[in-house]
Amino acid sequence: MSWDHAKPYSFTLAVLTGGWTLFNRKLWRVWPLCHFVKTPDLNGMWKAELRSTFIDPDSGTVKEPFTAYVAIRQTLTTLSVRLYTAGDHESSLVASSFDIEADGTTYLYGVYQGEPSITDRKSVSAIHYGSFKYKVIGKPVTELRGHYWTDRETGGSIVLRERLPEMFDSFDAAAGARSLDQNQGRPLP
């Protein structure tokens, strides 16, 4: 067998591989191709509100609802979810799956690891594991709503709204970008 025999197959393989890579990363979420794919496009930086069942041991009260930011980076076949809260706390996705029911209702399930900043690990929160279930709402998606549970015997509800296309890697960066966005590019006084 010579290279002349393999050339057509090599070209075909390169075209198919390149086409699949492009479809997997970008084209699956572009009209009209998005209508042929059931997986919802969740890409973006979401503002989240969390309500926890955690009881503060000092005061004996349930923690007030608080804001977080969630970065979702997605291809057709992969999903990365990172939740950022004030104080450099970060939770990262370990495993996930979509459940798309016959009527089109979609749920996102995941297992995550929560990593508080090193300075807060003893006094505020330890590294922990948890799981979540979000209902995906809207076409295109406008909201994710669900619950989470942790191995610390706490749980809560979470709502993700106000998606931005830009991605950030910290709570402060996401909050700062939203402040600029709400003031038409001018920083808050």
Q: How many domains does the chain have?
A: 2
Residues 115, 93 share a domain? yes
Residue 60: inside a domain, yes or no? Answer: yes
Residues 15, 52 share a domain? no
What is the pLDDT, as a whole number, of residue 157? 98
Residue 11 domain boundaries: 3-36
Residue 77: inside a domain, yes or no? Answer: yes
Residue 189: inside a domain, yes or no? Answer: no
Residues 92, 10 share a domain? no
- Cα dihedral sign for 160, 161, 165, 171? negative
What is the pLDDT, as a whole number, of residue 74? 96
Residue 27: inside a domain, yes or no? Answer: yes
Hey, what long-range contacts does 101-110 have (CB within 8 A, 24 or more apart)?
Answer: 104/38, 105/135, 106/38, 106/40, 106/135, 106/136, 107/133, 107/134, 107/135, 107/136, 107/146, 108/42, 108/132, 108/133, 108/134, 108/136, 108/144, 108/146, 109/133, 110/81
What is the pLDDT, as a whole number, of residue 189? 39
What is the pLDDT, as a whole number, of residue 184? 55
Residue 188: inside a domain, yes or no? Answer: no
Residues 104, 51 share a domain? yes
Residues 27, 61 share a domain? no
Residues 157, 176 share a domain? yes
What is the pLDDT, as a whole number, of residue 117? 79
Residues 22, 64 share a domain? no
Q: Which mean pLDDT values do the consecutive 10-residue runs of the chain (189 residues) have?
A: 77 93 96 93 97 88 94 95 88 89 94 85 80 96 97 95 94 88 49
Residue 76 belongs to domain with CATH number: 2.40.128
